[in-house]
Amino acid sequence: MKKLLAEFIGTFWLVLGGCGAAVIASGVENVGIGLAGVALAFGLTVLTGAYALGHISGGHFNPAVSVGLWMGGRFDARDLPGYIIAQVLGGILGAAILYLIISSSTDFTGFSGPGAFASNFYDANVYGVNYGLVGALVTEIVMTFMFLIVILGATHKNASPGFGGIAIGLALTLIHLISIPVTNTSVNPARSTSQALFVGGEALGQLWMFWVAPIVGAILAGLVYKFMAPNKN
């Protein structure tokens, strides 16, 4: 239960911090943090969460990470269902708190259009270019693949101890800098689910892709890294 609580809190923090930066601070006139600030916010949530909670649960905060670590031989399959449920519920609570904050504004009129409430999207022109379903699918698979490669490498028994959280947080920042214009960056089914539930409509209709693509990328990374550097004693 301690591990599940840690995953719940960590995913809550990721959604509240990352998506909160996107919907509250990114577009504020004169002081908006912009795309780079949002990317950094997501990276900082993982970095801080990893150091605060990683020693309890491993600091996954993402169903794709749990699946990738399992595929890479670093995580027990029997723990997968509990971790995934805790991550999704933590993300939903983060989105709920964020919704309460946003909806308290006198300017709040609800959510509409792709990308609303930091939801993920594909086949939509949100940032000036429509990359389509194929572009979004490739982006999410490859970005999740590389995210897991970094995670598996930074936490390998032969890696420099103590620096894993920094590498992982910076990797997530870089991933967001690349892929926010394509999909609003998922690489995390729990994060995608939490936002889609509050937006509804097309965001829910497209949610399947933000489960399938990250998990495919994570599985591939687990297989590749296990081949390259087995974590044997």
Q: Does residue 75 lie in a domain region? A: yes
How many residues comprise the chain? 233
Domain count for the chain = 1
Which pLDDT does position 29 carry in this prediction? Answer: 64
Q: Does residue 84 lie in a domain region? A: yes
**Domain at 123, CATH number:** 1.20.1080.10
Helix segments in the chain, DSSP class H = 2-14, 20, 34-57, 63-71, 80-103, 132-154, 164-183, 189-199, 202-205, 209-228
58-113 pLDDT, tens digit per residue, is 999 999 999 999 999 999 999 999 999 999 999 999 999 999 999 998 888 888 88
Q: Report residue 137's pLDDT band, with 50, 70 and 90 as the boundaries.
A: very high
For the cut 90, the answer to whether the pLDDT of residue 6 exceeds it is yes
For the cut 60, the answer to whether the pLDDT of residue 233 exceeds it is no
State pTM to two decimals.
0.93
| Distance between CA atoms of residues 162 and 159, nearest Å | 9
Which pLDDT does position 32 carry in this prediction? Answer: 79
Q: Does residue 233 lie in a domain region? A: no
Helix, strand, coil % in the chain, rounded to nearest 5? 70, 0, 30
For the cut 80, the answer to whether the pLDDT of residue 19 exceeds it is yes
Q: Does residue 85 lie in a domain region? A: yes
Q: Does residue 59 lie in a domain region? A: yes
For residue 36, the enclosing domain spans: 2-228
Q: Does residue 42 lie in a domain region? A: yes
Q: Does residue 207 lie in a domain region? A: yes
Q: Does residue 71 lie in a domain region? A: yes
For the cut 70, the answer to whether the pLDDT of residue 145 exceeds it is yes
Which pLDDT does position 30 carry in this prediction? Answer: 65
